[in-house]
Amino acid sequence: MDYALETDGMSKVYKSLRGHVRALEPIDLKVETGKVFGLLGGNGAGKSTFVKTVLRICRPTTGTCKILGIDARNPSARQNVGYLPEGTNFPRYLTGRGVCEYFGKLKGLTGAALKAEVEHKLKIVGMQDWGDRKVTKYSKGMKQRIGLAQAMLGGPRLIMLDEPTDGVDPSGRHAIRDVIRALGADGVTVFLNSHLLAEVEAVCDEIAIMYRGKLLRRGPVKQLTEEMSVRGGRMQLRFRTGELPAQLPQLLDGAAREDGGFKFSVKARDEIPALIDALRDAGVKIYEVVQYHASLEEAFLQIVEDGDAMGVGGQQ
């Protein structure tokens, strides 16, 4: 199996006046080629430090990293990588088109090939009509689109995006999501780093959750949410019903009433028919029975809470 990114025990410790601060616990992570992978975590979780360490903007304290199969210490490992850092500030005197031409030249593009690719990428991000305006006239969303355009120049096989939709309005977020989906469909590996759960959930094939510099969990979004939906070996059900009797049937001991019905947990699906029979015997009309599925937000908060209980992260 091919991996666009592999880390083995990679960690980062900063020295400060207060001692050593471990920004990254040793991290083992593999991202398959052609996947859209999301690194999810709150502010200060270590996501940006991880990206910068992978790209050797920061040197790791321990461990190794490979990018597209090449040791990250070798500059050639980054030849096929596009990067959009968090909070990018472009030179104020440049236009959006000028930004793309500048970064295109850094990637080895020249002449007609450079101009053609810049126009193509500006069109993809919806900025071809705004390319001749200086970046000082751009909104946050427009700057992010230009940043995404420059990250795509040169046809990189891996694109790393650090908070690409942070501070972007809904229409801008929608446009950026469409670009990320298109990249994934074309077989480009996209590593998306964000604290915005909805953005990650909308585009990623797989996610990892980081908290205080440590990876707590990883897997497809559906897998993580389903695991959180079944806690303590019990499956959560929601019943939408007609009027409920003052005393629910004995089989429903522990049920929680809610508007339009109640919720209840069972150990196995085989218990559901008996519950339905008991409700019907009590004269209750049943309109719907659905299994409760945790949202990504609920799963994230539960995983972080579990990490907190284990005393994850901190200073040394």
Rounded mean pLDDT of the chain? 90
Q: Please write the tens of the pLDDT for every residue from 93-143.
A: 999 999 999 999 999 999 999 999 999 999 999 999 999 999 999 988 899
Reply yes or no on whether the pLDDT at 316 is more than 50: no
Tell me the β-bridge partners of 235.
230, 266
Q: Please write the tens of the pLDDT for every residue from 180-227.
A: 999 999 999 999 998 888 888 889 999 999 999 999 999 998 888 887
Total-model pTM: 0.83
d(CA 215, CA 210): 4
Most trustworthy range by pLDDT among 29-43, 264-278, 286-300: 29-43
Q: Are 152 and 124 in contact (CB under 8 A)?
A: yes
| Residues in the chain, total | 316
174 versus 121: the higher-pLDDT residue is 121
Q: Please write the tens of the pLDDT for every residue from 254-263.
A: 888 888 899 8
pLDDT for residue 232:
63
Q: Are 113 and 121 in contact (CB under 8 A)?
A: no
Quick one: CATH architecture of 3-224? 3-Layer(aba) Sandwich (3.40)
The single-letter code of the amino acid at 54 is V
Domain ranges of the chain: 3-224, 227-291
Q: Are 221 and 207 in contact (CB under 8 A)?
A: yes
Reply yes or no on whether the pLDDT at 240 is more than 60: yes
pLDDT for residue 110:
95
Q: How far is CA 203 from the centre of its chain?
A: 8
Q: How many CB atoms lie within 10 A of CB 164?
A: 29
Query: Span 153-162, mean pLDDT?
Result: 96
Long-range residue pairs from 239-244, CB within 8 A, at least 24 positions apart, any chain:
239/263, 239/264, 239/279, 239/286, 239/288, 239/289, 240/286, 240/287, 240/288, 240/289, 240/290, 241/279, 241/284, 241/285, 241/286, 241/287, 242/284, 242/285, 242/286, 242/287, 243/284, 243/285, 244/284
